[in-house]
Amino acid sequence: MTNGYHIVVCGSVVPDPLQTLEPVQTPTGPALKNETMLPAILDPWASHALYEAANLASKVTGSKVWLVSVGPKAKLQQVMMTIAQRVSFELVPVDASASGFSDAHATAAILAETIEAIAGLDRSRLLLFGGWESASRGAGVTMQLVGERLAILDQFQGVDQLAVQPDGSFEVLERIEGGRHQVSVCPGPPALFGWATGSLPEPRNNPQVGMANMRTVMPALQRAKSVPLPANGLDFLSASPPKQQRQTRIVKDLSAGQIASEIAEWIGK
């Protein structure tokens, strides 16, 4: 494609996985204890999508990458200080909760409205990237709902590889059951790709790229519109972390078969 692609990546921030997360009940519903104090990172699945988008854009002249992110403005600013140094993109932030307790339909509606409002976006050149899954909004349907709202019919989920063919079509490698991949061919944009892990390494920090990105990131964060994420009728009765369970018994003179039988019996219970 001579004019390049308009690649929009959907991705939010999530708490650093090295932190201990403890659900608590609040007047507005479940939340994380001390959520505002937890360090944040870009969602790992969204990171793969962003790096794949930047890689594709670098190979096709005239391409541009936008990162549409729904999350608390302060957390977005914190994360962008790192992410902005890795790949070139234009941030389109929405100041809203990044809680994993939000409804996928409400999140998809905000994302679709935000994408439609991007100035200069050419829908005929649009490639919508995002995580196949999410570390917080793990409903598994958010990207599909965004695509439906934008009338994108060609959707691929669990994508590990995307290759542009000489005729402008895409060869897509999707994960399917049994540890196998399905090879599909997409005629071209508009199309949606929900990325799995891909095959690209994490890009190195580049201060020059970071400085160029931050010229637009900071003004975009200042203009970020604050929106609520309605529960849409969802009601969480309780939320709690999984409990650790350890049962130890020291025995002697048991055969391997007897040990295996005990383990199988214990698992069955």
Tell whether 238 is covered by a domain: no
Sign of the dihedral defined by the CA atoms of residues 20, 22, 27, 28, in that order: positive
Tell whether 260 is covered by a domain: no
Name the β-bridge partners of 192.
128, 155
Check residue 18 and give its pLDDT.
Answer: 67
Cis peptide before 190 (omega within 30 of 0): yes
Tell whether 211 is covered by a domain: yes
Check residue 6 and give its pLDDT.
Answer: 94
- The reported pTM is 0.79
Q: What are the pLDDT digits (tens) for 74-107?
A: 888 888 888 888 888 888 988 887 777 777 788 8
Total number of domains constituting the chain: 1
Residue 117 CA to residue 98 CA, distance in Å, equals: 21
Check residue 1 and give its pLDDT.
Answer: 47
Tell whether 115 is covered by a domain: yes
**Other CB atoms within 10 Å distance of the CB of residue 69:** 31
Tell whether 110 is covered by a domain: yes
CATH number for position 137 = 3.40.50.620
Tell whether 251 is covered by a domain: no
Q: Which residues contact 162 (CB under 8 A, 6 or more apart)?
A: 52, 56, 170, 171, 172, 173, 193
Task: Give the CA distances from residue 58 to residues 19, 52, 149, 150, in Å, rounded to whole numbers and listed in that order.
Answer: 35, 10, 28, 25
Task: Give the CA distances from residue 268 to residues 22, 121, 258, 259, in Å, rounded to whole numbers and listed in that order.
Answer: 29, 55, 15, 14
Q: In what helix (H) or strand (E) does residue 75 lie, and over which residues does it extend?
A: helix 73-83
Residue 179 CA to residue 176 CA, distance in Å, equals: 7
Tell whether 48 is covered by a domain: yes
Domain that holds residue 105: 6-226
Which residue stretches of the chain have pLDDT < 70? 1-2, 17-20, 22, 28-31, 135-139, 230-242, 244-245
Check residue 207 and give its pLDDT.
Answer: 85
Tell whether 256 is covered by a domain: no
- Residue 18 near residue 49, CB atoms below 8 Å: no
Listing DSSP states for 9-20 in one string gives EE--EEE-TTS-
Structure tokens given for 77: 């600013």
Q: Which residues contact 68 (CB under 8 A, 6 or more apart)?
A: 8, 9, 10, 11, 92, 94, 111, 114, 115, 118
Structure tokens given for 10: 């959907």
Check residue 200 and give its pLDDT.
Answer: 80
Listing DSSP states for 112-168 in one string gives HHHHHT-TT--GGGEEEEEESS-SS-TTS-HHHHHHHHTT---EEEEEEEEEE-TTS
Any idea which residue has 């790096």 for tokens? 51
Q: In what helix (H) or strand (E) does residue 8 lie, and over which residues does it extend?
A: strand 6-10
